[in-house]
A and B are shown apart, each in its own frame.
Chain A
Amino acid sequence: MVSNLVLESLISLSAIAVMVGLAWLIFRTPSPVVTEDLARERLAFDEPDFTPVGWLIDRDGRAVLAEGADGDFALVSRLGLDLVSRRYPPAALKVSEQGGVLSVAPLDPGARRVDLAAGEAAQWARKFSGAVAS
């Protein structure tokens, strides 16, 4: 029974490799460069009542951090061919800055840490200095 299970698993994994390999061969597309326009469009759909008043754009196009008129922040980052957005009050983010790179670590389990390399990184880190992560 165990050997059958192993054999079936190997067959399934081989089939997965074939499907993923073919998808990779046919749809090899680079991830999008996250720009203000793309982030704005994504936020207009995901967070329609979020009004951005400032933008921190990663120079490598990995992510954009937006400051909202209501004091919230929105993070738009890329995932494969798509974008992912999250809106947070400052206290829901762990933010640090080193060498011009702002690291933004959301506390929700479905998100991941994002690094933004930008000239104004230190200035943006100060916006979070009073916030207490909860």
Chain B
Amino acid sequence: MEFPDIISYAVPAFLVLVIVEIVAVRLMKRGRYDARDSASSLIMGFGSEIAPLFGGAALVAAAFTAAYEFRLTTIPNAWWAVLLCFTLDDLRYYWWHRISHERRWFWASHVVHHSSQHYNLTTALRQTWTGQIIGTILFRTPLIFLGFHPAMVLFVGAINLLYQFWIHTELINRMGPFEWIMNTPSHHRVHHATNPKYLDANYAGTLIIWDRIFGTFIEEDQHEKPRYGIVKNLGTFNPLVISFHEWIGIAKDIFKAKSLKDVLGYTFGPPGWSPDGSRLTSAMIKQRWARVHGGDEARSDDVARQAPQPAE
């Protein structure tokens, strides 16, 4: 069985779909585009294809080769194995993605994808340059150790990534029963939102069932429009800052840390962790919102409705 490089084949489709979305957003007046923001996203996407050549690809190849060499069994390259591998890889994606939000070491790489205040198809292409060198491959290696061929694991991972492209849009609202099982634009808008009630939710890649099973599913509230980005939005479109700002932040924090515990906390604690609690983790942000606005009932768009919005 051959496993084609479907990402390469998909690049022309990305171009066409982005153009279609730009025009549709304008005509339907739903969603937003900012050329500078899109340029940053697309440069990040371009860089993410080049970055593995600086060591990441070799690291992945070495880990995959070693794991396959010592595999527990050999799973044939059959259609049922592809389906099984895809499902297991999607579960792997859920946990990798969740940990990428819950631990600063992985967040420093993944924050790139969330650093746009816009939500459109170019946001999908805003990808990390440092993902392959920080150990995320450890999440995939168990599948190969189980006996799935590395080419199959890469293939199903590429399908997962491709699936996630089209869900980065505000053009599609709800999708009926499809939403019960599959990740959709609505579910993923929640994931990209910074509204306190939406934080730390909907980590799924393709199947939303993982969030439903592990208790991280939050449905998009039609009365609370997502506000996209990160809780401390970046003040620049510079791709180098986008790519490395959190790593620089970790380095600066480690430099001034007073103990090994602080070093570990700054590096592997939740994003926003600090020894004295002077910064805010997402749990603290939720608590603060509830404290100020009176519990779960308060909605963050109540604030937005009271004041004018910036020009769109």
Contact = CB atoms under 8 A, between A and B. Distances in A.
A82 B233 contact: yes
A23 interface: yes
Given A12-B11, A13-B46, A82-B34, A41 B22 contact: no
Contact of A19 (B38, B236, B246, B308): B38
Given A12-B11, A81-B34, A81-B311, A109 B306 contact: no
Interface in B217-274: 227, 229, 231-237, 241, 244-246, 248-249, 252
B211 interface: no
Contact of B235 (A9, A24, A30, A77): A77
B292 A23 contact: no
Contacts of B249: 108-110
B18 A80 contact: no
Contact of A80 (B34, B241, B246, B291): B34
Contact of B310 (A12, A22, A83, A112): A83
Interface in A76-131: 77-86, 108-112, 114
B307 A49 contact: no
Contact of B303 (A19, A44, A78): A44
B42 A109 contact: no
B237 to A, nearest CB: 7
A29 interface: yes
Contacts of B246: 109-110
Given A16-B43, A77-B235, A112-B236, A48 B307 contact: no
B49 interface: yes
A27 to B, nearest CB: 5
Interface in B79-109: none
A16 B233 contact: no
A37 B234 contact: no
Contacts of A108: 232, 249
B233 A84 contact: yes
Question: What's the dominant secondary structure at chain A's contact region?
Answer: mixed
Contacts of B71: none
Contacts of B35: 20-21, 23-24, 27-28
Contact of B42 (A16, A81, A110, A114): A16
B174 interface: no
Contacts of B311: 29-32, 81
B128 interface: no
Interface string A55-95: 00000000000000000000001111111111000000000
Interface residues of B, number: 55
A82 B232 contact: no
A48 B302 CA distance: 12
Contacts of A12: 11, 46, 49
Interface string B288-305: 110111000000100110
B88 to A, nearest CB: 31
B310 A38 contact: yes
B272 to A, nearest CB: 12
Nearest to B298: A48
B303 A48 contact: yes
Contacts of A45: 227, 300, 303-304
A80 B50 contact: no
A19 B307 contact: no
A29 B236 CA distance: 18
A38 B311 CA distance: 10
Interface of A: 9, 12-13, 15-16, 18-24, 26-32, 37-38, 40-41, 44-46, 48-49, 77-86, 108-112, 114
Given A19-B22, A49-B288, A80-B37, 12 more contacts: A15-B14, A16-B39, A19-B15, A20-B38, A23-B34, A27-B33, A28-B35, A30-B311, A38-B309, A108-B249, A110-B241, A111-B235
* Leading 9 A-B pairs by shortest Cβ distance: A41-B307, A24-B35, A32-B310, A109-B248, A48-B292, A23-B35, A110-B245, A112-B235, A16-B42
